[in-house]
Structure 1
Amino acid sequence: MFIVAKVMLYVSFAILMGAFILFTVPKSKRFEIKLSKKVLLILIGLIPLFGMGELLRLTNHLGEDFGYWLTFQNIVFSFEVGKGWIFLTGISVLLFFMVLFNNVAEERFFAGLSLFLLIGMGVSVGYSSHAASLESFGILAHTLHFLAVITWSGVLLVTGFFSNGEGPVLSFYKWFTPLALACLFTVIGAGLWLMSYIVPEYVNSYMLNYGQALVIKHILLFIIVFYSLINGVWLKKKIKEGSNSLSLLKWIKAEGIILFLAFVTTAVMSQQTPPHDVAETLQMQDPSPLFTLITGLSPGENPMLTFNFSFISLIWIAVAALLIFTVFTAIKRSKGIAFVTTASILASGAIYLAIMSSLTL
């Protein structure tokens, strides 16, 4: 339940971010968006509710001895995660009335103000993050990472699933391509920054559930970058050559689906203990069942994973390369979105197996 709440929090943020960004762009450089004021208000109202998931998870974990209601009150008013949620809720109320009393879809000024308030809500997410409790600049790293992800994914999700049926045009790519690149570099930079003190033993963390979710997320990010190259370079070229842009819209949807899967892995990570010291963490919890099942390895007292590429891992790399080539070929031949998405997921699985099969203790 808590994972579902986290996923829906990310999705709500992303759709709102994408909508407000597109509403601030002149109509000549975008398309008509099928997001009514009612839907926007519902999404704004859901964010504090989904954000409460972390509070309820902590209450469920800590409340057995002291009483759940008293524990919940203490978390809300004393814990950083609770203060962040209060901040998030307060800004969401302002944003709700901003959208309620103004036509943000037509008035770019109010769309910009709404975007500013939503960014403030994103800062509250960074304030209540685990990174903020570990490092003085953790709030900055987490906020940058979070805002970059929802900006990039939000525009894609709204473009793919909430447009009026028209495909992307060249004027859209002219501003979105540099925005997407800026988001990509921010995600990578802030992600490495976060990992430096949250997961300092990156490879060793594969033995834990957190590390398994993290490596799957990174593989999905690789697939997303591959889609970005197709959507931002190759498809843009096809539009210049006069191809029907409507037929290209489904590949933006496919990228949005992979981004959603990345949200799911991020939500799973949020429910796991970050492994600052893997050996110490393994003394308190069992290794990841997925890790032991796939690798057949059993961590000892001083576990230290290393890469040793074998014949099997090379085969999985070849399979992954073949599947990625299949995805590109299928897009060139305009195959169905279900086939391309399935092949992308299988490519991700092959990359994961290539990594796991190359690990030794």
Structure 2
Amino acid sequence: MFIVAKTLLYLCFAILMGAFILYAVPHTKRPDIYLSKKIILLLIAFIPLFGIGELLRLTMYLGEDLGYWVTFQNIVFSFEVGKGWLFLTGISVLLFFMVSFNDIQEDRFFAGLALFLLAGMGVSVGYSSHAASLESLGFLAHTIHFLAVVIWSGVLLVTGFFTKGEGPSLPFYKWFTPLALVCLFTVIGAGLWLMSYIVPEYVNGYMLNYGQALLIKHILLLIIVFYSLINGVWLKKKIRKGANAAGLLKWMKAEGIILFLAFVTTAVMSQQTPPHNVAETLQMEKPSKLFTVVTGLNPGENPALTFDFSMMSIVWLAFGVLLISAIFMSVKRNRSILLVITASVLATSALYLAVMSSLSL
């Protein structure tokens, strides 16, 4: 339940961020999108609702002795995660009424103001993050990482799923392609920064559920980068040559769907124990079942994973590269989006197995 709430929280943020950015851009540089004010208000209202999930999880974990209501009150007013949620809720109320009484779809000033308020809500997410509790700069790293992800994914999702009429034109790509590149490098840089706090033993972390989810997320990011090259470079050239932009929207949808899967893995990570010290963590909890089943390895008292490439890992890697090539060929020949998504999931699985089959203790 909490994983679903976290995933939907990210999705609401992304859609709102994408909508506000597009509304803040001149009409000539964005496609026409059909997100009604009612849907936007509903998404704003959902953010504090889905954001309370972490507070409820902590309440259920800590409240058995003191009582759940007393524990919930203590978390809200004393814990950083509770203060972050109060800040998030306060800004969401302000944003709700601002959008209610103004036409953000036509007035770029209010669209920009809505974007500013939503970014403030993103800061509250970083403030209540696990990284912020470990290191003062962890708050900044998480905030930058989170905002870069929702900006990039938000514009993609809204453009792909809520465009009416013709798809994005060349003026759209002229500003979105550089923005996407900045977001990509920011996500990578801030992600490495976060990992230095949360997962200092990255490879050994594969033995835990958190590390497994992080590995899958990184492989999905690799697939997403490949989609970005297709959408931002190859399809842009096709549009320049006169291709129908509306017919190419489905590939932005495909990239958006893979980004949504990355949201799911991030939500899974938020419910797992971060592996600051893998050996100590393994003394308190069992290794990941997925890790032990796939690798057949059983961590001992001093676990230390190393890479030992085998024929099987090379086969899985070749299979993954072949599937990635199949994605491009399917896009080039305008095949079904379902076929491309299936190939993407299979490519992710193959690359995951390539990594797992190359590990040894």
Q: TM-score range by the shorter chain?
A: over 0.9
Which residue in 1 is equivalent to 2:75?
A: 75
Letter of the structure 1 residue corresponding to residue 213 of structure 2:
A
Letter of the structure 2 residue corresponding to residue 235 of structure 1:
L
Which residue in 2 is equivalent to 1:93?
A: 93
**Separation (CA, whole Å) in 2 of partners of 1:319 and 1:295:** 18
Which residue in 2 is equivalent to 1:326?
A: 326
**Separation (CA, whole Å) in 2 of partners of 1:200 and 1:218:** 16
**Separation (CA, whole Å) in 2 of partners of 1:248 and 1:203:** 38
Letter of the structure 2 residue corresponding to residue 172 of structure 1:
F
**Separation (CA, whole Å) in 1 of partners of 2:249 and 2:45:** 29
Which residue in 2 is equivalent to 1:358?
A: 358
Which residue in 2 is equivalent to 1:56?
A: 56
**Separation (CA, whole Å) in 1 of partners of 2:321 and 2:51:** 39
Matched, 1:160 2:160: yes
Which residue in 2 is equivalent to 1:206?
A: 206
Letter of the structure 2 residue corresponding to residue 346 of structure 1:
L
Which residue in 1 is equivalent to 2:141?
A: 141
User: CA offset at residue 197 of structure 1?
Assistant: 1.3
User: CA offset at residue 167 of structure 1?
Assistant: 1.4
Asked if 1 retains the 8 angstrom alpha-carbon contact of 2:14 and 2:151, the reply is yes
Find runs of 4+ consecutive structure 1 residues off by over 2 angstroms: none
Pairwise CA RMSD of aligned residues? 0.5
Is there any run of 5+ residues in structure 2 with no aligned partner, and where?
A: none
User: CA offset at residue 174 of structure 1?
Assistant: 0.1
User: CA offset at residue 165 of structure 1?
Assistant: 3.8
Which residue in 2 is equivalent to 1:12?
A: 12
**Separation (CA, whole Å) in 1 of partners of 2:249 and 2:340:** 13
- Per-residue CA deviation, residues 134-191 of structure 1 (Å, 9 max, x unaligned), is 0111110000000000000000000010111421210100000000000001000000
**Separation (CA, whole Å) in 2 of partners of 1:98 and 1:164:** 25
**Separation (CA, whole Å) in 1 of partners of 2:136 and 2:245:** 46
- Per-residue CA deviation, residues 222-271 of structure 1 (Å, 9 max, x unaligned), is 00000000000000001111111111100000000000000000000000
Identity of aligned residues (%): 77
**Separation (CA, whole Å) in 1 of partners of 2:315 and 2:165:** 41
- Per-residue CA deviation, residues 77-104 of structure 1 (Å, 9 max, x unaligned), is 0000000000000000110011000000
Which residue in 2 is equivalent to 1:293?
A: 293
**Separation (CA, whole Å) in 2 of partners of 1:303 and 1:197:** 20
Which residue in 2 is equivalent to 1:65?
A: 65
Which residue in 1 is equivalent to 2:284?
A: 284
Letter of the structure 2 residue corresponding to residue 219 of structure 1:
I
- Show the 5 A alignment for 1:181-330: 181-330=181-330
Letter of the structure 1 residue corresponding to residue 316 of structure 2:
W
- Larger deviation, residues 160-169 vs 184-193: 160-169
Asked if 1 retains the 8 angstrom alpha-carbon contact of 2:138 and 2:197, the reply is no
Letter of the structure 2 residue corresponding to residue 197 of structure 1:
Y
The two structures have a TM-score, normalised by structure 2, of 1.00
**Separation (CA, whole Å) in 2 of partners of 1:23 and 1:247:** 23
**Separation (CA, whole Å) in 2 of partners of 1:318 and 1:278:** 31
**Separation (CA, whole Å) in 2 of partners of 1:181 and 1:272:** 30
- Larger deviation, residues 139-148 vs 241-250: 241-250
Asked if 1 retains the 8 angstrom alpha-carbon contact of 2:17 and 2:118, the reply is yes
**Separation (CA, whole Å) in 2 of partners of 1:136 and 1:89:** 23
**Separation (CA, whole Å) in 1 of partners of 2:324 and 2:126:** 34
**Separation (CA, whole Å) in 2 of partners of 1:152 and 1:78:** 34
- Larger deviation, residues 49-58 vs 158-167: 158-167
Letter of the structure 2 residue corresponding to residue 126 of structure 1:
G
User: CA offset at residue 26 of structure 1?
Assistant: 0.3
User: CA offset at residue 14 of structure 1?
Assistant: 0.2
- Per-residue CA deviation, residues 200-235 of structure 1 (Å, 9 max, x unaligned), is 000000000000000000000000000000000000
**Separation (CA, whole Å) in 2 of partners of 1:5 and 1:325:** 35
